[in-house]
Amino acid sequence: MKTNGLKILFFVTEDWFVCSHWLPLIFGAKDVGFEVVVVTRTNKHAEKILQHGIRVIPFEISRRGSNIFREMRTVLQLMEIYRKEQPDIVHHVAMKPMLYGSLVSGLMRVPHTVNWVAGMGWLFIANTWRARMLQIVVRKVLGMLLHGTAVIVENKDDEAVIANIGIAAQQLHLIRGAGVDTLLYAPSPEPGGVPLVVLPARMLWDKGVGEFVEAAIQLKKRGVSARFVLVGEPDEENPASAREHQLASWQKNGVVEWWGRREDMPQVFAQSHIVCLPSYREGLPKSLLEAASCGRPIVTTDVPGCREVVRDGDNGLLVEARNSTALADALAKLLAEPELRQRMGRRGRERVMNEFSQEIIVSQVLAFYREAIS
């Protein structure tokens, strides 16, 4: 693919999100000749991006911000960046970059705008009157701003949502997730000892943290021998974030263990027997793909995104969302049947190798870029 020095600008809210999901794609774009720039809020992970020769433009953006004057200032600052950089392609990831980035790219007449819908987020899960009102507004604004852009979705459910706001079929492209490093996330034998059930995610209520804890309580009352572990940290900018004192209280009372954020997730999965994510909605949960790549069976919910990863009875079990008893029953089944766990783990690894490896996904996105600039 000849890019002739074309510039691609990635706009992602947080540097940790860049590092956890998008580095293989960014490196792939660089390797085929794009000049690559990343615009993101920098915290602890910018150095990792810079080490690979990628230019980073620090950009302050609040995912939860609602102060109209601060948000207008954010848009103006983004306009200045786009004016100065003059990118040939802008690639926005997640809701606020899609909204603000599409507005600015339209005003600045950027030749090609790509919007990646990485899940519909808290706003499309919450059922409060405020959230419902905001959904109406956001749907209308999205319909206007995404018109004329290329939109990538990670699952069929989100594809239907975006189509329903008026985005034409020829603008929509299905690419299932950001891909998995199958060498790093490699299978290992199931460890001995008391079975370990892991929930790997940001500590958000809509990731099913509450249902996971309630299921753990139910299983302990049934006399099931297992350890239940939350791996991740709260996200204070997300309205659905659990509080640190609540997580610490659960751990103190022996309900679950809370390990916080871990940078060694392949080792965490290697210690586990089952990986669980009782989420209310996802784009395509990379943590589940990584767990499957490690050969671990999965218990998750029958909701958008999660059911893209797990085929019920094949590489894991699907349960109803917000139902802690159904979750406990599914976990109990796998805890009682080690041979079933191992069979499902093997099937999960096969699916990732055939459908979700980062080589497959990156090649799909680069082909998409090639088509866009041809």
Q: Are residues 363 and 352 in the same domain?
A: no
Q: Are residues 352 and 368 in the same domain?
A: no
pTM: 0.91
**pLDDT single digits (tens) 25-59:** 999 999 999 999 999 999 888 888 998 889 999 99
Q: Are residues 58 and 71 in the same domain?
A: yes
Q: Are residues 254 and 330 in the same domain?
A: yes
Q: Are residues 24 and 130 in the same domain?
A: yes
* pLDDT at position 35: 96
**pLDDT single digits (tens) 80-96:** 999 999 999 999 998 88
- What range does the domain containing 256 cover? 196-356
| C-alpha–C-alpha distance, residues 310 and 308, integer Å | 6
Is 2's pLDDT higher than 70? no
Nearest to 120 by CA among 91, 98, 145: 98
Q: Are residues 345 and 208 in the same domain?
A: yes
Q: Residue 332 falls within a domain, yes or no?
A: yes
Q: Residue 263 falls within a domain, yes or no?
A: yes
Q: Residue 2 falls within a domain, yes or no?
A: no
Q: Residue 186 falls within a domain, yes or no?
A: no
Q: Are residues 39 and 172 in the same domain?
A: yes
Report residue 368's pLDDT band, with 50, 70 and 90 as the boundaries. very high
The mean of the pLDDT values for the chain is 93
Residue 361 amino acid letter: I
Q: Are residues 73 and 17 in the same domain?
A: yes
| C-alpha–C-alpha distance, residues 141 and 107, integer Å | 15
Q: What CATH number is associated with residue 29?
A: 3.40.50.2000
Q: What is the DSSP letter of 86?
A: -
Q: Residue 368 falls within a domain, yes or no?
A: yes
Q: Please report the beta strands in 157-195, taking only residues with DSSP state E, as ranges in sequence order.
A: 172-174
Q: Residue 121 falls within a domain, yes or no?
A: yes
Q: Are residues 150 and 93 in the same domain?
A: yes
Q: Are residues 264 and 121 in the same domain?
A: no
**pLDDT single digits (tens) 308-330:** 999 999 999 999 999 999 999 99
* pLDDT at position 5: 80
Question: The tokens of 273 are what?
Answer: 């027997």
Q: Are residues 30 and 154 in the same domain?
A: yes
Structural domains of the chain, count:
2
* pLDDT at position 124: 64
Is 175's pLDDT higher than 60? yes
Q: Residue 187 falls within a domain, yes or no?
A: no
Q: How far is CA 294 from the centre of its chain?
A: 18
Q: Are residues 237 and 343 in the same domain?
A: yes
The residues pairing with 318 across neighbouring beta strands, listed in sequence order, are 300
Q: Residue 274 falls within a domain, yes or no?
A: yes
